[in-house]
Structure 1
Amino acid sequence: MNGAVRSQQRLTCRWLAEVGTWNPGALRRLQQRYGGLDALLEHSREDLAAELSSARRAVPAAVPGLPAEEERWTEAGAYAATLAAAARGPVVASVGRPVVTWVDDRYPARLRHLSDPPPALFLTGAAVWEALTVCTAAPVVAVVGTRGPTAYGRDMARAIASGLTKAGVLVVSGLAMGIDAEAHSAALTVAAGTCAVGTAAVLGCGVDVVYPRVNRRLFARVHAAGLLLSEFVWGAGARAWRFPARNRIIAGLADAVVVVEGGARSGALSTAEFCNDLGREPLAVPGEAGRRLSAGPHRLLREGRAGLCESAADVLAALGLPQSASSRQAQLHLAAGAASGDAAAVLSALDGGELRVDELAIAASLRVVDCLATLAELELAGLVSPCSGGRYRLVRGDDPGVVETPRAG
């Protein structure tokens, strides 16, 4: 293929990405009608625009979760401008902005297996092309879940993401609040000070749009040490219907998807379903029976649609990868074995779940005053943490360093 043809195909891919940004139903119908992107690229943008214009409605095609009525006209206006500009190509300028298209060798190979792969990916980060190479060549695991996790969910997301990063696995997620943010943050912490790419974040908006705003510091950390990518053009705002689309990209990039907490209708379940559809490895972290945020992972496990995940070691085993650093749970057992007296008794008692100080004192056969002193020492060592209701729990997050064994009291 000569350079001029390839250049036009790149422009068409970017133009199709704009079509999909403003009207995903239109792009989906084109892919279905022509049998994929390769066939689409054999047609001129003018012909494709004429076909879309003849079927055009006043608002984007009906897709579950479309923006509110007052926002539709903005989306429709952008869509109309994209169709009108077909002859010259994309409306949104890309000078100096990294984009990888379907016809580029750097396009992530795993995404080519999607039934509706994105025509282009818009990228940002401190070392975009190096990070994209890692995203394509290294093992990749998605860690996803609820936006409002429990302390246990946060710990498990951190533990799994940390362990995977230590093992040379790239952690990908959606930069949402909650489990996504914990996974990104833990991966970045482990990768800090190394040459490794910290994490990759797939956005449900343009890569230059910080959403949610509460994650703006995390956005900056990912930009500095990882990769941000989106199938939506720069400046595209966050819309409800863009997040399920984002989830399929997360699943498409990953060799496995780990769901950490989520209700029965959690969006994380759709990411696991996309993973299943691709014939890859969905896993789910079990939670406490009867809890709302356990419903999603437990349903996946009950129906046999996900494997059990209690640590990063389970993910590595599912992918057939060598296991590296010891898990936090193993470290806790080592600490309990090495500690003597009160500290070992408290760690052993808390291994069964959260306890109030009075309950813990009874379980560990300690006086309350001795139990409190031991808890203070264990908290300083990073092994236990206070939680709601005056309870204490084990810290199950994977510590990048070595657990300091508390001395006997």
Structure 2
Amino acid sequence: MVTSSALNAHHDAEGAAWLRLLMTPGLSRSAARRLLAKAGSAQQVWLLSDTDLRECVTQVQAQAFAALPPKWPEPVERLQQWLSTPAADCFHAMVPLGHAQYPEALLQTEDPPLLLFVQGPLSLQQSGQPWFPYPQSLAMVGSRNPSAQGIVNAREMAQALAQQGLCIVSGLALGIDAAAHEGALKASYSGTAPLTIAVVGTGLDQVYPRAHQALAGQIARNGLVISEYPLGSEPRPHHFPQRNRIISGLSQGTLVVEATLKSGSLITARLASEQGREVFAIPGSIHAPQAKGCHALLRQGAKLVETAADILEELQGIKQPVAPTHKAQAAINTEAKNPLIQALGHDPMTLETLSERTGWDAAQLQAQLMELELDGLVARLPGGFYQHITRS
């Protein structure tokens, strides 16, 4: 790990090696992880032989690997400046994959970030405790254009949960995200864990949206602001769906407060389910577009939430993340062993017929069907029918 309090030649060299790995165009995270596994460290990656390199990456990736990232070494100089000049009462750090402070919960996901850039209070860094508080954390996400009631729900729910020691994880976006952060910051919880974590889609040397400059500063002094994107990274549309896997991955569960059917919050909920985490949703008016995404999640088996107690009861006793099974392997196991697949056969079937065949109630069926949908094994058809999708 490279921090504002630990700068020396070794850390500078290792930090630069990690940053180059992150910024090499065309080098995917999975390819980078293969290289790291082969070499043993970021610095050793750049000393791999051509033979070792060809075992880990494609020819196109190897060509990208041989070239320096654009404008190099400016990104290294920017990083060193940022690490050495944190804001008052805050620390700046770069945490690489595999470091002791790297979140264990993210290691249990299929696509963990190579690097996390972190800003937080000095008191947290000095406490000697892990910065990332899994299993005491909950992601809260929702619409960027929520109703007035949605804002109230997010703030009050976040404050009530933070009072009980849950860290609220969100994305610093307009609407529900901001309300969740604000509610958590109002809590009077006296523990050492951060009150809230903002996972952002830019470099940490800028704030998006600009209107949240003050809020980002509050979070940095009372929680954590983190990003997988290097300094200087501007907000790009594809950054935000990508960062959603970190929001859900850091948390025991994800609560969707309000969401339309096309909301990015549903991506976060899907990722949470794939990561083996709980999914919660707050119901709303049947006439409100902002409630339709939550209602869709509830139909798919998400747990209905009316009060903070509903979440606390559900999360009680969870001690560690559930490691996800790779989709391809999950599909093989599911098709071979899942009784619901056997009950479905190959023809479209209603929930009522499935209940008669399996003896399961509607809630249990919907939960199982949602998992099979996410694995691509079941399709939801018009008219309330479900059908098994045969994989080649």
Q: State the TM-score, normalized to the length of structure 2.
A: 0.65
**What residue number does 1:123 align with?**
118
Pairing of 1:230-269 with structure 2 (within 5 A) = 230-269=227-266
Pairing of 1:293-304 with structure 2 (within 5 A) = 293-304=290-301
Which of 106, 122, 133 pairs up with 2:101? 106
> In 2, are the aligned partners of 1:12 and 1:41 still within 8 Å (CA)?
no
Which of 266, 285, 291 pairs up with 1:288? 285
> In 1, are the aligned partners of 2:166 and 2:195 still within 8 Å (CA)?
no
Amino acid in structure 2 at the alignment position of 1:220: G
Amino acid in structure 2 at the alignment position of 1:161: A
**What residue number does 2:22 align with?**
17
> Could you tell me how far apart the structure 2 residues matched to 1:110 and 1:141 are?
12
Amino acid in structure 2 at the alignment position of 1:317: E
Amino acid in structure 2 at the alignment position of 1:26: L
Which of 291, 299, 313 pairs up with 2:309? 313
**What residue number does 1:210 align with?**
207
Pairing of 1:10-89 with structure 2 (within 5 A) = 11-19=16-24, 23=25, 26-28=27-29, 30-31=31-32, 34=34, 38-39=37-38, 41=40, 44-45=45-46, 47=48, 55=60, 79-81=69-71
Structure 1 residue runs of 5 or longer lacking an equivalent are: 61-76, 323-409
> Could you tell me how far apart the structure 2 residues matched to 1:168 and 1:202 are?
19
Amino acid in structure 1 at the alignment position of 2:264: G
Higher-Rg structure is: 1
> Could you tell me how far apart the structure 2 residues matched to 1:318 and 1:48 are?
51
Identity %: 33
Q: What's the CA shift string for 1:196-233, capped at 9, x where partnerless?
A: 63211111011121110111111111122111110111
The Cα of 1:14 is off from its aligned counterpart by 3.3
Q: What's the CA shift string for 1:34-67, capped at 9, x where partnerless?
A: 3x8534646622659987895269xx9xxxxxxx
The Cα of 1:180 is off from its aligned counterpart by 0.5
Report whether the alignment pairs 1:93 with 2:89.
Answer: no
Which of 140, 151, 160 pairs up with 1:143? 140
Q: What's the CA shift string for 1:322-366, capped at 9, x where partnerless?
A: 9xxxxxxxxxxxxxxxxxxxxxxxxxxxxxxxxxxxxxxxxxxxx
The Cα of 1:8 is off from its aligned counterpart by 6.8
Note closer, same or farther for the CA distance 1:244–1:181 as it changes in structure 2 (3 Å cut): same
Amino acid in structure 1 at the alignment position of 2:31: L
Partner SS state of residue 298, structure 1: helix
Equivalences, count: 292
> In 2, are the aligned partners of 1:146 and 1:268 still within 8 Å (CA)?
yes
> Could you tell me how far apart the structure 1 residues matched to 2:142 and 2:229 are?
22
Q: State the TM-score, normalized to the length of structure 1.
A: 0.63
**What residue number does 2:225 align with?**
228
**What residue number does 1:175 align with?**
172
> Could you tell me how far apart the structure 2 residues matched to 1:142 and 1:131 are?
24
Please provide the CA RMSD for this pair: 3.6
The Cα of 1:110 is off from its aligned counterpart by 0.2
> Could you tell me how far apart the structure 2 residues matched to 1:107 and 1:287 are?
37
> In 2, are the aligned partners of 1:109 and 1:136 still within 8 Å (CA)?
no
The Cα of 1:234 is off from its aligned counterpart by 1.4
Note closer, same or farther for the CA distance 1:266–1:249 as it changes in structure 2 (3 Å cut): same
Structure 2 residue runs of 5 or longer lacking an equivalent are: 1-8, 85-91, 319-392
Which of 216, 222, 242 pairs up with 1:219? 216
> In 2, are the aligned partners of 1:260 and 1:285 still within 8 Å (CA)?
yes
